[in-house]
Structure 1
Amino acid sequence: MIERPRRNRVTPFGNIEVNSHRGTLMGNRGDLHNDDGTVCRTWMLRRWISCTLHSPTGRRVTFDTPGCYTPLFFADEVTALAAGHRPCASCRRPAYEAFRAGWQDAFGEKPSAVEMDDILHQARINSAGQKVTFKTLLRDLPNGVFVACEQAVGSAFLVSNGKLFPWSHLGYGEPLSEPFNRAVKVLTPAPVVGILKTGLFPISD
């Protein structure tokens, strides 16, 4: 029997979709399962993390099991960041420490994981569970940030060297050139944008 793809692939909007592409990172927002094992909610914990695909302890990932965390998957690091996930302090310790160093450089303090999670949670979704976005000029954004454009509703674009690369679970399309003074809607949470501006956190590791 052919196994159907699960609903566990995450977009830069933070949405969880069905897609057969595995991705390069795994994530966790808690137990998102319904009683029958299907995904029925978008988050349970404020600790949204991105992890390696392979557990350093060798423990196997459990799918479709209520009571266990729901494994999520990201195409790459910047997709996880845009969705509001930070690096795991356990399986991705170097990336986690780089993230904290960037936070300290950007905001003047080096918070705990819990403190970061609380701030990130307010910056990624509102009380209605909708994604929080803000507008700014394209020229003010660092590489690695995702934006949405009015001319392509529902699509996400990666900012890289002044160009916008359309995102999909499988990869990126041909870049679009946009005026630097154009206002864009930013999908990546504001604290993460600040961290990326410092250049201390690598957008791939």
Structure 2
Amino acid sequence: MLQNRVDPFGYLIKTSARGGWMGNRGILHDEQQHICRAYKSTAWITCVLQFKNRKRTVMTPGRYTELFFLDEATAFSAGHRPCFECRRSAYQHFKSCWLAGNPQYGFTAEVSIQEIDKILHQERINRTKEKVTYEDTFGQLPDGAFIVINEQPCLVFRQMAYPWSPFGYGAPIAISPNETGTVLTPASIIRAFKAGYIPEIILPVI
């Protein structure tokens, strides 16, 4: 079993569960298929599982490490964003929504995605490779955001919280819109959701 599934904290875990999306952070593994770093690039992307009939052997030495996510909401919580090549339409929509939701940076439509990736990287992981989190009122969060309840990552959807697992979501938990707690999804991505990007979510619950 390979350590190539990504949880909402952005950590790489081992599980027999299959993912609905693939991702990339560069070459993270060695010749024995062991993970030896958390990332190689600041471009953390989310890709489709199949593209133009390309075939890959997972964790081939010297090739980028294939990562897998339960759904797109999980990928966003970890700090990934749509790939320019295999998800061009989603990439363009995300960039447009990100710019609309984050005017404080003064970027125009011509800004390089590398500039946005720099901001995302500061929001996703710190210098000790730990997840960056922040506090917010749950009622202010859009569908697709991830929060922490009793140390468990939970998806926010229709004013309920759904506990995450690699296999799917558990039964919903009622949350108060006035309750304040820890948010996992990077702040600028939350603002992109509010500006119109709707992440793919795997429901119903397991």
| Same fold? TM cut 0.5 | yes
1:66 positional shift: 2.7
Structure 2 residue aligned with 1:128: 128
d(CA) in 1 for partners of 2:60, 2:34: 8
- Number of positions where the alignment pairs a residue of Structure 1 with one of Structure 2: 196
Secondary structure of the corresponding residue to residue 27 of structure 1: strand
**TM-score after normalising by structure 2:** 0.91
d(CA) in 2 for partners of 1:66, 1:84: 25
Could you report, residue by residue, the CA deviation over 1:173-201 in whole angstroms, capped at 9, with x for unpaired residues?
111001111111000011101101112x1
Shift of 1:32: 0.5
State whether structure 2 residue 160 is matched by structure 1 residue 163: yes
Cα distance in 1 between the residues matched to 2:47 and 2:69: 10
Paired position in structure 1 for 2:146: 146
**Equivalent position amino acid for 1:171 in 2:** G
Which runs of no fewer than 5 residues in structure 1 stay unpaired? Answer: none
Corresponding residue to 2:176 among 176, 179, 182? 179
Structure 2: tracts of 5 or more residues without a match: 202-206
Distance in structure 2 (CA, Å) of the matches to 1:126 and 1:13: 12
* Structure 1 vs Structure 2 CA RMSD: 1.3
Structure 2: how far apart are the matches of 1:21 and 1:37?
18
SS at match of 1:167: strand
Shift of residue 129, structure 1, vs aligned partner: 1.0
Post-superposition CA distance 1:141-161 (Å, at most 9, x none): 111000012xx22x1000111
Percent identity between matched residues is 42
Provide the C-alpha distance between the structure 2 equivalents of 1:90 and 1:65, rounded to a whole number of angstroms.
Answer: 21
Residues 144 and 198 of structure 2 are in contact (CA less than 8 Å); yes or no, is this contact kept in structure 1?
Answer: no
Shift, 1:139, TM fit: 0.9
1:10 aligns with 2:18: no
User: Do residues 76 (structure 1) and 71 (structure 2) align?
Assistant: yes
Partner letter of residue 49 of structure 1? I
Cα distance between partner residues in 2 of 1:14 and 1:49: 12
